[in-house]
Structure 1
Amino acid sequence: MRIPTLSTSLTGRDIVPEHEQDIFFTSLGLAVLDEIRVPGQEPLRNILGGSGTYATLGARLFLPGSLSPNLGWMIRVGNDFPIPVEEALWSWNPTLVIQKEPGSASTRGLLEYRDTTFGPKDFKYTTPVLGVQDSSLEGTALLRSKAYHYLASPQDIKTRIANLYAMRQKEAISDRPLIIWEPSPLFCNPNDLQECLEAASIVDVFSPNHIELARLFSVSLSAESVRRNMEDLAARVLERGVGPDSQGVVIIRAGEHGCYVSARGLSPKWLPPYYGPGSGELNVSKVVDPTGAGNTFLGAYAIGYVKTGNVIDAACYGSVGASFAIEQVGIPEIKGEHGREVWNGISVYSRLHEYMSRII
């Protein structure tokens, strides 16, 4: 494990774009306007969420300042997309493409918590989903992205990757991008196991959460069995092969248990969450709402891998990225202080340095 130094990775200067339109990461997940209801409290409306939003957040955390345009972001919205929310997106200074559908409502969801602990919850879409069409990447800098994130069904990911490669070939883009796949929770059940394993063979990172993976294999989980079961199931997935030439990675995001990273030829490793056992004073938890933590992890992982080429180091980026997503409801606050960028008042790379120093 390489701990980032103050002179390079802590400032993000070790990523050097070849030209302005280099794109390091693009999520093709959703941007959703959530209404959040907590018992006994006034509902919160127009809270930006969705897998694409949080994955993009994770990547943006590690692309500060002049590197922010190297973050690609494409969203599809309706005629009711709030101007303040759009302005907030532009404030991140990404290479942003907003497709507006004048005759449609934006994708909206209802997130209802069952109690005031931000624990058990129910979610449903309240408008038709406006997903980004793959063909929309044509003619944009995002088609040359070094990494892509998808949350999709197994059949959908096969189709979308085939479309992506066809478009890149048409534009004579020979580099193979990093493909990160979160299987859609709706398709994490035993009936879809074989198709999920087939789809995992064409992606570079297969990343369900622990509950989804257990459901795929019809395994019952208890707090005591999570680690043992995840290690066994990850090995079973790897047996079938993840990625081209079976060189891909399984990353199981397991909430308060941390994450488990496994690949052929790699000593598998559990990494703790940033807020959790072994974090000393940080055990006095600042966790408010875990929504979006897993998506944020994967966006941050992508940048960590682009920077280091090391899957364990990249997972450390993911764990730190997720920590910023859970400190509040919605997206963390970004500010410039004393010539540097901070999120929730904290330097992202300082937190990464502290976390990596703690776990080695």
Structure 2
Amino acid sequence: MSPAPARRMIAVMVLIPVVVALALWAFAWPAARTAPRDLPVGVAGPAAAAAAVEDGLTRHAGAFDVHRFDDGAAARDAIEDRVVYGAVVVGAQGTELLVAPAASPVVAQLLREAVTAGAPADAPVRVTEVVSLPEGDPRGSALAASVLPIALAGVAAGALVTLSGLRGARAAVTLLGAAALVGLTATALAHSWLGVLDGDWWAEAGALGLTVLAVGSAVAGLAALLGTPGVGLGALLMVLIGNPFSAATSAPELLPEPAGALGQLLPPGAGTSLLRSVAYFDGRASGGAALTLTLWVVLGFTAVLAGARLRARTGTTPPQPEHPAPAPASAPAA
């Protein structure tokens, strides 16, 4: 056997376990280490009673980031503005726990267990859902399941643009059109048919389309700079890293560091946060996620255009077909 095929065989045998190990690390590690880490929660009520509740929450070192509010109305506003995930309100009528399953069903359940577990039997804690999930998706599983298809759509768009030989402005326009159509199609399915989203229809389509565009432009940009291997690198970053770190099934504050923070800097995580805001919270707290996605689009398009110019300068742009020159007429026989 010649050396070249042998090296390729060894490379494949080594590469497959490495990819599997990376995938298991990216998916299993966050799931195995899920726990609250500086999770924003609120406490409202008279100073003495609120201080007692706060002491109970801070007893779990590093688990909760407690915000104090004057009353239950202020706590509700903070939940609706996505400042906190929930709040404990202490008043004359007892203790009330305010939760927002739309922000994270897992966090809502965690707060129920943490607050109601220690409540006396004669004074149970009332639980009120401030922002609920729609009837079509009461557990939030459909929204969480949408992250991977949206990421794959973006990777497919970037890969197809690259493999089709589209460069520069043509590649950018194609990515923009594909992302817009994916956003419209996904919203028609998720909102109009399945009923798992209940926000503004066009805002949801814009959030989904922007997420696809961010992923697709990043993949196409890497391919424009690195060639075909850039598609693989982009897919690795967006699917194997971005998908499990997106916190779509939990919350960024429940993932181990730095997975939670890193996930929100990648398009799948930022897109999930943006979609939650526009679908359930009337667009509140959507600015940071929208800015993150926009920056990915700008960087991706810049790389696409820069890659096209670089290829043109170095002469690596595929030559355009030319019409063959007509064959010279044969000389008349003598």
TM-score by length of 2: 0.31
If each structure's strand is expressed as a fraction of its own residues, which one has the higher value? Answer: 1
Q: Which is greater in Rg? A: 2
If each structure's helix is expressed as a fraction of its own residues, which one has the higher value? Answer: 2
